[in-house]
Amino acid sequence: MRINVNENFHKLDNNYLFCEISRRVKACKEKKPEAKIINLGIGDVTLPLGRSVIETMKKACDEQSKKDTFRGYSPDTGYDFLKNAISNYYKKYGVSVDKEEIFISDGAKSDIGNLTDLFGDNTVYITDPVYPVYLDSNIMSSCKAVFMRATEENGFLPMPRAEYKTGIYYLCSPNNPTGAVYSREKLDTWVKFALETGSLIIFDAAYEAFIKGDYPHSVYEIKGAKECAIEVCSFSKTAGFTGIRCGYTVVPEKLNCESYSLNKMWRRRQSTKFNGVSYITQRGAESAYSDEGVAEWRKNIDCYMKNATRMAEFLKKRGIEYTGAYNAPYLWVKCPEGYGSWEFFDYLLENCHVTVTPGAGFGKCGEGYFRISSFCSPADMSEAIKRLGTLL
Ligand code: PLP
């Protein structure tokens, strides 16, 4: 073929991280077939969906079998019943979001990737370490990326700096991979900075439901954020929808770039390139906000967070430095002196058959760290702690 391809794809890191982890785990299994490997690298939920969500989806499925209740294409931006439920959920945090500002999607990852359609040539500011989708989607659309270092010195929470200019700033709180969470004061500084410099914040709140302390769950809890921020969120980690697929993005009506309304542009983008989320899924997502639905996913989150707390207590006892765990399902742990991320990954795999995620896979500043996920079963967490106890 002689067509022109998007050359930017050659600049991507070829999904190095998870392929490399699988390769090393496979090699270990071949060498020691009897070993039971415990996966603390997993970023996916493991507990089943709540009963009420399942029952609601079954009912919605039955509706599709009858002429009177059958539904075809859903509205491009989602059904009002789900938008109203999301709008009510925001009220819990004192945030008013109109249903015209909410766009239902098949998940946060798609929205984060697709948002680049709205923008021309900008500098994008991305934390290091980072959830790789922010970076890769911008590489694909040839935007210049500047890294904001998330290190021990800034508590893994980069803040505006004098040299930062007008651009698109990706913030994720609670953070994947570090588990760090922005305070109200810190987010307020970001919002003021964005307003002063004419910048846009893309705020990823995928882990908001894991927050236990007094931290903002939404960027819109901060005054002025409706004029400078888009918020992306998801039912994946909140209600266990990683396989069902449902998320949403809030594009405020007040969000304008010169004469362009980003809300209208995103509506146009979605109606052109997206044909909506299934009725069954949206009914399931709506029921995740019922009292029963919330109680069910809260129970699952409590289980993951108990895992995180137990691991944190173990690390603390052993004097191992970490962050995260109390407001996020991740712990960001410092490798012992002299070990790089991948070296320590190999050491744990080889000597106690536990896999973690090497920090270097999330960016240069991740070197010397690893991420532990608490999305495993309590039994696996107990066994992993026992095994790590013999080594660390
Ligand atoms: N944002 C962050 C920070 C994530 O860690 C993930 C998934 O791991 C996503 C977004 C993707 O969420 P979804 O399953 O809704 O696509």
305 in a domain, yes or no?
A: yes
Residues of the chain with pLDDT under 70: none
Question: Ligand 1 centre from 137 Cα, in Å?
Answer: 14
Question: Ligand 1 centre from 372 Cα, in Å?
Answer: 16
Q: Are residues 74 and 159 in the same domain?
A: yes
6 in a domain, yes or no?
A: no
Q: Are residues 204 and 223 in the same domain?
A: yes
User: Could you report the per-residue pLDDT of 41-64, keeping only the tens digit for each?
Assistant: 988 999 999 999 999 999 999 999
Our mutation pick for probing the ligand 1 site, out of 181, 237, 332, counting the most ligand atoms within 8 A of Cβ, is: 237
Going by CA atoms, what residue is nearest to atom 1 of ligand 1?
A: 206
Question: Which atom, in ligand 1's list, is nearest to the CA of 242?
Answer: 14
Q: Are residues 134 and 278 in the same domain?
A: yes
CATH number at residue 253: 3.40.640.10
Burial tier of 203 (Cβ tally within 10 Å: 0-12, 13-18, 19+): buried
124 in a domain, yes or no?
A: yes
In the chain, the number of structural domains is 2
| Burial 243-259, CB ≥16 within 10 A → b, else e | ebbbbbbbbbeebeeee
Contact status, residue 266 vs residue 249, Cβ threshold 8 Å: yes
Going by CA atoms, what residue is nearest to atom 5 of ligand 1?
A: 176
pTM as predicted: 0.97
3-class DSSP assignment, residue 148: strand
Torsion over CA of 119, 125, 126 and 128, rounded to 10 degrees? 160
CATH number at residue 324: 3.90.1150.10
HSE (side-chain half, CA atoms, 13 Å) at 197: 21
Domain boundary among 291, 309, 344: 291
Q: Are residues 334 and 287 in the same domain?
A: no
Question: Ligand 1 centre from 368 Cα, in Å?
Answer: 24
Torsion over CA of 313, 319, 320 and 326, rounded to 10 degrees? 30
Helix axes 378-391, 291-317, angle to 10 degrees: 10
φ, ψ of residue 324 to 5 degrees: the values are 85, -160
Q: Are residues 274 and 308 in the same domain?
A: no
Instruction: For residue 8, give both structure tokens.
Output: 């930017």
177 in a domain, yes or no?
A: yes
Q: Are residues 137 and 41 in the same domain?
A: no
Domain boundary among 260, 291, 322: 291
The rounded distance, in Å, linking the Cα atoms of 304 and 370 is 18
User: Domain of 278?
Assistant: 51-291
1 in a domain, yes or no?
A: no
Domain boundary among 253, 271, 291: 291
The DSSP code for 15 is: T
HSE (side-chain half, CA atoms, 13 Å) at 215: 22
The rounded distance, in Å, linking the Cα atoms of 47 and 45 is 6
The residue written with tokens 């998330």 in the block is 150
153 in a domain, yes or no?
A: yes
Q: Are residues 307 and 281 in the same domain?
A: no
Q: Are residues 283 and 300 in the same domain?
A: no
Question: Which atom, in ligand 1's list, is nearest to the CA of 43?
Answer: 8
Q: Are residues 22 and 35 in the same domain?
A: yes
Q: Are residues 311 and 253 in the same domain?
A: no
174 in a domain, yes or no?
A: yes
Instruction: For residue 223, give both structure tokens.
Output: 């005054």
In angstroms, how far is the first alpha carbon of the chain from the final one? Answer: 55
Candidates 256, 248, 267, 265; CA nearest to 227 is 256
The rounded distance, in Å, linking the Cα atoms of 320 and 334 is 7
Question: Which atom, in ligand 1's list, is nearest to the CA of 246?
Answer: 15
The rounded distance, in Å, linking the Cα atoms of 133 and 103 is 20
4 in a domain, yes or no?
A: no
The DSSP code for 83 is: H
Q: Are residues 277 and 208 in the same domain?
A: yes
Q: Are residues 36 and 62 in the same domain?
A: no
